[in-house]
């Protein structure tokens, strides 16, 4: 059976570092050291004492209480964090993939591992304060309390301050694992970053992604190679393209956009089509979860009951139902933006291909199935025109990230693509 790091694609250096840290953490537990050394520099006396207590393994050299996993989308930030959490809970301290600690952590059921996966546009201070309070408790399994925060760049300022306080004064047996695109202040505050050890991840090569799709998912090698290239190293998107016909249709529609831009009206039509496709994809992804959540809440509040007070209980539950609707609306908005961003990444790949062809760069195209169309565009626009179009797509992504209304940003992009 493969160990917990098997699915961390193309990140050999990071895996070595995390294995070393897990071994140091296990040494800390064996020696009964009261707490981890923080990410800041330890004094000489503290380091010597820890080194003696852990049998020659210095925790400050390999293990600390707070980590940040950074890297581009698809690099495996959350995969790395979850695998490291499993290695910390592993009875062998290695992430063997076979023991109960590894199994329950990777399956999301370990009592001492808390995964924070934001469904909305941000992570609020209330949620973070509750999480920090729970994380301060003693581990039920005797090893570590581990808090994994995916998309830590979505922390509000107040939530970030609540987390910072916990990282500054960490509980003795708690480890915080944060995932963020980069350590830029816009993604993660400088004060939090300065108290964490950073694990930089890179975009995995297409060959490594294809190998995983073949080995783990049983996908045909030729399909896996195509999907890995089209997804630009993003493992999740590559798997979706290889296995989901609807995802391939949506991608084909996006890559047809350059042919459709024949005038102002066509540009606005293309923008509407792109927005509506993202909305439809998002609705399909959240509808089932929304229905299940609402039914579960109504049942818990006494819906359908016939006993005394059942009707009154439901009337009093209006506030809870309204709060649920608010969370679901935020999740739907996030899903729409994620779906739209996937489309923009595909479109950027097309114009990147046109640019490399115009420059006669010796690199393989991202979208092999539209290489001929990109070549035609390269001849028509030349390198400068291709670059302007690529920049328009990237500017649209940045505008949406800065909370410009998606329809406005996409319409502006389509006009820029048409004008060149």
Mean pLDDT of 194-206: 91
pLDDT at 266 over 70: yes
The reported pLDDT for the residue numbered 50 is 39
Report domain extents, the chain. 12-200, 206-233, 264-302+322-419
pLDDT tens-digit readout, 16-68 = 999 999 999 998 888 875 556 555 433 333 333 333 333 444 444 578 999 99
Strands of 174-180's sheet, edge to edge?
113-116, 145-149, 174-180, 66-70, 197-200
Here the contacts of 189-196 (C-beta below 8 Å, separation 24 or greater) are 189/160, 189/164, 191/164, 192/68, 192/160, 192/163, 192/164, 192/167, 193/68, 194/39, 194/40, 195/38, 195/39, 195/40, 195/66, 195/164, 195/167, 195/168, 196/39, 196/64, 196/66, 196/67, 196/68, 196/167
pLDDT class for 147, splitting at 50, 70, 90?
Answer: very high
The CATH H-level (homologous superfamily) assignment of domain 12-200 is P-loop containing nucleotide triphosphate hydrolases (3.40.50.300)
Q: Percent of the chain beyond pLDDT 90?
A: 46
Mean pLDDT of 62-84: 90
pLDDT tens-digit readout, 300-314 = 766 555 555 555 555
| Of residues 3 and 49, more confidently modeled | 3
The model carries a pTM of: 0.73
pLDDT at 315 over 70: no
């Amino acid at each position: 059976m493969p160990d917990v790091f098997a699915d961390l694609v193309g990140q050999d250096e990071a895996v070595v570092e995390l294995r070393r840290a897990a071994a140091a953490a296990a040494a800390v537990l064996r020696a009964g050291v009261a707490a981890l050394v923080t990410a800041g520099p330890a004094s000489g006396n503290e380091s010597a004492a820890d080194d003696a207590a852990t049998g020659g393994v210095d925790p400050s050299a390999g293990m600390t209480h707070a980590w940040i996993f950074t890297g581009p989308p698809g690099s495996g930030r959350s995969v790395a964090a979850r695998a490291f959490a499993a290695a910390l809970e592993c009875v062998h301290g290695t992430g063997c993939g076979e023991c109960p600690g590894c199994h329950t952590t990777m399956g999301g059921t370990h009592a001492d591992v808390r995964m924070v996966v934001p469904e909305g546009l941000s992570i609020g201070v209330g949620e973070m304060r509750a999480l920090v309070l729970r994380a301060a408790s003693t581990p039920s399994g005797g090893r570590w309390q581990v808090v994994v925060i995916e998309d830590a760049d979505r922390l509000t300022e107040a939530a970030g301050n609540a987390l910072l306080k916990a990282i500054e004064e960490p509980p003795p047996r708690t480890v915080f694992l944060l995932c963020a695109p980069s350590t830029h202040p816009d993604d993660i505050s400088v004060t939090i970053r300065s108290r964490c050890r950073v694990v930089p991840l890179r975009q995995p090569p297409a060959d490594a992604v294809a190998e995983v799709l073949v080995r783990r998912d049983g996908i045909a090698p030729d399909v896996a190679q195509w999907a890995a290239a089209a997804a630009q190293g993003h493992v999740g998107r590559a798997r979706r393209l290889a296995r989901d016909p609807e995802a391939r249709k949506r991608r084909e529609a996006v890559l047809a956009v350059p042919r459709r831009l024949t005038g102002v009206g066509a540009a606005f039509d293309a923008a509407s089509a792109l927005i509506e496709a993202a909305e439809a994809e998002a609705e399909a992804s959240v509808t089932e979860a929304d229905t299940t959540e609402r039914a579960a809440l109504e049942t818990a509040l006494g819906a359908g009951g016939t006993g005394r007070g059942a009707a009154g209980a439901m009337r009093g539950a209006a506030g809870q139902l309204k709060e649920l609707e608010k969370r679901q609306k935020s999740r739907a908005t996030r899903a729409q933006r994620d779906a739209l961003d996937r489309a923009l990444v595909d479109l950027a790949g097309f114009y990147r291909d046109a640019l490399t062809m115009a420059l006669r760069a010796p690199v393989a195209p991202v979208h092999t199935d539209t290489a001929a169309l990109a070549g035609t565009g390269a001849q028509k626009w030349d390198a400068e025109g291709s670059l302007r179009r690529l920049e328009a797509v990237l500017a649209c992504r940045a505008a949406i990230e800065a909370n410009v209304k998606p329809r406005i940003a996409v319409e502006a992009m389509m006009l820029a693509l048409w004008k060149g």
